[in-house]
Amino acid sequence: MAKFPENFLWGGATSAAQIEGGRCEDGKGLSHLDYVYYRGPKIPCNFMLTEHLNKARREEATLNFPNRRGIDFYHRYKEDIALLAEMGFKSFRMSISWTRLFPTGLEETPDPKGVEFYHNVFRELHKYNIEPLVTMIHYEMPITFVDRYNGWYSAEIIPYCMKYLKFLIDEYKDEVKYWLTFNEINMVTAVPWLGGGIVLDRDVQLPRPDLRHGLRFPPETSKVMDQMSHQALHHQFIASAMIVKYAHDTAPNCLIGNMFNLHHLYPETPSPADAYRAHEETEFNMFFCDVMARGYYPAWMKSYYRKHDINIKWYDNYEKILSEGKVDFISLSYYLSSIVTADPERQEKIGSFMRGLNNPYIKTSEFGWQIDPTALRISLNELRDRFNLPIYIVENGIGAFEKPDEDGKIHDDYRIAYLRDHIKAIKEAIDDGVDVIGYTPWGCIDLVSCSLVSMSKRYGFIYVDADDEGNGTYNRSRKDSFYWYKKVIASNGEDLD
Ligand code: BG6
């Protein structure tokens, strides 16, 4: 069996909105995620319509906005990075908050305090030989652009975004080698508010979706959502390709990856109809990489747009822009697999994604996410065949409710089991000949959940003493998985017991 490469980038992943806090400090502006309010420990919140945004503004003083608190990384980054170093991290995935540099997005020059904050974080990481892996946009944009342009739906945002992205490369290119452009770029088509700052019913009347049992949309909503989100996606592809080219031209030491949420799908039965559905959904999932890694829209996607009556306003010279901005590596988040059926009565639709059905052969987490390391191995092989590029797995993990025992310890054996099985699958994929360069499990330190904006769904090796309402000391402590992962890194993935 092949071993992990010598310089394998073991680490962990976070994002600015979910860890920093200090949202209104030192001149920082508010981003669209700062308006997402907590609705309960298992209620998804990241789908906002006009009524939700209005409520967030109207009741700003009394609603609970966990992203504004994060885990106080803004003040505690030195202590946090020391803990990551103690585990032996080689790589730390973080994002930069657009509004810490450009509070409204409209400023001509960035805020020096924000600029310095990220220099300080990078300095601290390098002190321990930890390579930063920086997401330029992890689900965040100045709220100004939601109000002015309905987020990424309008091409008007592109010049402002390019000013921010170019600044990142110019300012930090000597400290940051690995960059990702948009976090989970495919999410804009599934959750347009989260991925694109789009308020779907800003200009049209839409029925209310049922948010309690996952996202289920009436057909009118799905239609508007497909049209708006694919237009927004197009603008994100353009900005991404432009910054990749800019970095290639001006910062040849930097490597830039895409980032998509890998969703592995099996057909429910061996019927050709189910097999075709699974093929179609897999192609849809890969499409996001196709554009960013191959530099063009695949022919089938243009025909999909035609068949679904989605009319994209193509950006001037988009073909040239995309072909000149191909990424250097593929990066992905992977949490779960699911199965699909061709039976129209049993479909659950999320935007252009089919929601999967339960797979009786695999277990699920307590949040219903289906745990399937083998699907990761299969997909890694498929990605190798399709793109022949290095692959960085920048998110993976299991979210759970956790409470310390009487001795204040967290015995997270389920997390160890989950990560062990996924690391084994990655090792097998490396043995299959896949060039995997790094692995940064999600939420290496407990942080605010993205879908639920809660603290109580935890992913970390490090526990943070804070609850959904912001009570607690915010003190950090080591879970059992902390010591286990330290051993994994020290043995370069050989000791997984
Ligand atoms: C990914 C996101 O979709 O999944 C992260 O990039 C997110 O931001 C992670 O936190 C886990 O999702 P959740 O909803 O459990 O926090």
Q: Residue 348 pLDDT more than 70?
A: no
Contact 160, 145 (CB under 8 A): yes
Neighbouring-strand partners of residue 178: 133, 255
CA of 15 to the centre of ligand 1 (A): 9
pLDDT of res. 351: 41
Say how many Å lie between the CA of residue 194 and the centre of ligand 1. 11
pTM above 0.75, yes or no: yes
Q: How far apart are CA 146 and CA 193, in angstroms?
A: 9
| pLDDT value, residue 333 | 97
Q: In this predicted model, what pLDDT tens digit does every residue of 32-72 receive, in sequence order?
A: 999 999 999 988 888 889 999 999 999 999 999 999 999 99
Distance 43 CA to ligand 1 centre (A): 14
Tokens matching residue 116: 């310095």
At 96-105, the pLDDT tens digits run 999 999 999 9
Q: What is the pLDDT of residues 74-116, one digit of tens each?
A: 999 999 999 999 999 999 999 999 999 999 999 999 999 999 9
Can you tell me which residue has the tokens 């075709």? 276
Percentage of the chain lying above the pLDDT 70 cut? 97
pLDDT at residue number 369: 87
pLDDT for residue 352: 39
Position 216 confidence tier, pLDDT thresholds 50, 70, 90: low
Does 424 score more than 50 pLDDT? Answer: yes
Pocket perturbation via mutation, ligand 1, pick of 133, 135, 366, 395 by most ligand atoms within 8 A of CB: 395
Most informative mutation of 133, 193, 331, 333 for ligand 1 (most atoms within 8 A of CB): 333
Residue whose structure tokens are 């730390």: 92
Q: How confident is the model at residue 345 (pLDDT cuts 50, 70, 90)?
A: confident
Nearest ligand 1 atom to alpha carbon 184: 6
Mean pLDDT for 397-405 is 96
Convert the pLDDT of each residue in 141-181 to its tens digit: 999 999 999 999 999 999 999 999 999 999 999 999 999 99
End-to-end CA distance of the chain: 17
Rounded alpha-carbon distances, angstroms, from residue 474 to 80, 170, 477: 12, 35, 10
Q: 315 CA to middle of ligand 1, Å? A: 30
For the stretch 239-279, pLDDT in tens is: 999 999 999 999 999 999 999 999 999 999 999 999 999 99
pLDDT of 213 over the 50 cut: no
In DSSP terms, which residues pair with 350 in a beta bridge?
Answer: 353
Q: Render 168-220 in DSSP notation, one character per residue.
A: HHHHHTTT--EEEEETTTTHHHHSHHHHH---TTSSS--PPPB-BTB-B--HH
pLDDT in tens, 174-199: 999 999 999 999 999 989 999 999 99
Q: Show the CA angle centred on residue 399, arms to residues 259 and 176, nearest 5°.
A: 35
Protein residues with CB under 6 Å of any ligand 1 atom: 15, 183-184, 261, 333, 395, 399, 442, 449-452, 457
| Residue bearing the CA closest to ligand 1, atom 9 | 450
Q: Whose C-alpha lies nearest to ligand 1, atom 14?
A: 451
Residue from 185, 369, 450, 457 whose mutation best tests the ligand 1 pocket (most atoms within 8 A of CB): 450
Contact 347, 278 (CB under 8 A): no
Q: What angle do CA 488, 493, 497 make, to 5 degrees?
A: 55
Q: What's the angle, vertex CA 161, arms to CA 130 and CA 55, rounded to 5? A: 100
446-486 pLDDT tens trace: 999 999 999 999 999 999 999 999 999 999 999 999 999 99
CB burial of residue 1 (10 Å; 0-12, 13-18, 19+):
exposed
- pLDDT digit string, tens, across residues 288-341: 999 999 999 999 999 999 999 999 999 999 999 999 999 999 999 999 998 889
Closest ligand 1 atom to the C-alpha of 397? 11
Tokens for 375, please give them.
């699907």
Cβ neighbours for 190, distance < 8 A, ≥ 6 positions apart: 215, 229, 350, 351, 352, 353
Residue 146: which of 200, 102, 186 has the closest Cα?
Answer: 200
Q: Give exposure, 150-186, as e/b (b: 16+ Cβ within 10 Å).
A: bbbbbbebbebbebbbebbbebbbebbebbbbbbbbb
CB atoms within 10 A of CB 239: 26
Q: How many angstroms does the Cα of residue 279 sit away from the middle of ligand 1? A: 25
Catalogue the active-site residues: 184, 395
pLDDT, the chain, mean: 94
pLDDT of 218 above 80: no
Q: What is the CA radius of gyration of the chain?
A: 21
Angle at 345 between CA 344 and CA 350, to 5 degrees: 70
Residue nearest to atom 15 of ligand 1 (CA): 449
